[in-house]
Structure 1
Amino acid sequence: MHSYDEPVYLISVVATMLNIHPQTLRQYEREGLVEPSRTQGRMRLYSQRDIDRMKLILRLTRQMGVNLAGVDIVLQLKEQIDQMQKEIDQLREELSKVNRNGSVHMSKALVTKNAYDIIIFEE
């Protein structure tokens, strides 16, 4: 079994899996929508993550009528949301640790009163 990010699929296999022409995959690469890995001989290899990304691209273009420029914007926003979600998860974990320990380090103090947040930073 291969990991989600391990590049193992050739362009012909991916094109068959997604029922698209290999030239479409090359166009997505030219547009910067997907970046397959390359072998020493410069053959494209795709991971399962790449395939899932292309499925999203196909859904946006075929079912929702989004052009490739719009797809690029959607993918960038999705990456930003994913990054923000990771930060939220990390902050929740920190808050959980603080709640267990019962104290807050001065550099991370946050006091909520009414509708305002007061953040205190160490100088």
Structure 2
Amino acid sequence: MPDPGAPLPDPHLPDAARGVYGISVAAELAGISVQTLRLYEQHGLLTPARSAGGTRRFSGDDLARLRRITDLTDQGVNLAAIARILELEDSNADLTADNLRLEGDNQRLRDQS
């Protein structure tokens, strides 16, 4: 179920999960160097999509993750700790989504009674 408070997607922009930005564009948008972006990928902090030819394609979601990584590195957090933080944040987001789904299922069951 979509979040009723969430902004409507812009029809002129690609879906946030679709990899459309090349590595140099993604690095520029994130305000980091291409080498730093490759380092983050080597450490497993993000995994961009790949084109049929193997070219990295970064999505809007990847750019948001890069902003989070940059915020953490600016605070002095090392890459191993960032990997763990991101893992826990992803897990928390999954659990929150599951909880919302279950709450909706429970409400539908109550409404049927």
- The normalised TM-score by structure 2 is 0.85
Q: Distance in 2 between matches of 1:100 and 1:18?
A: 46
> Distance in 2 between the 1:90 and 1:45 partners?
31
Task: Work out the number of aligned pairs and report it.
Answer: 101
**Residue 4 of structure 2 corresponds to which residue in structure 1?**
none
Alignment-derived partner of residue 77 in structure 1: 88
Structure 1 residue 22 corresponds to structure 2 residue 22: no
Quick one: which amino acid aligns to residue 15 of structure 2?
A: S
Counterpart residue number, 2:99: 88
Gaps of 5+ in 2: 1-12
| Secondary structure in 2 matching 1:9 | coil
Q: Distance in 1 between matches of 2:52 and 2:94?
A: 32
Kindly state the Cα deviation for residue 40 of structure 1 after the two structures are TM-superposed: 2.5
Q: SS of the residue aligned with 1:78?
A: helix
- The alignment partner of 1:7 has SS state of coil
Q: Report the TM-score when normalising by structure 1.
A: 0.78
1:65 maps to: 76
Relative contact order (C-alpha < 8 Å, sep 6+): which is higher?
2
- The aligned amino acid for 1:8 is V
Listed one character per residue, the Cα deviations across residues 37-79 of structure 1 (whole Å, up to 9, x for unaligned) are: 11222211100000100100000111x2111000001011001
Q: After the TM superposition, which segments of 4 or more aligned residues of structure 1 sit over 4 Å from their partners?
A: none
Question: Alignment identity in percent?
Answer: 33
Please show how residues 16-55 of structure 1 align to structure 2 within 5 Å: 16-55=28-67
Q: What is the RMSD computed on CA atoms of the aligned residues?
A: 1.0
Consecutive unaligned residues of structure 1, counting only runs of 5 or more, are 103-123
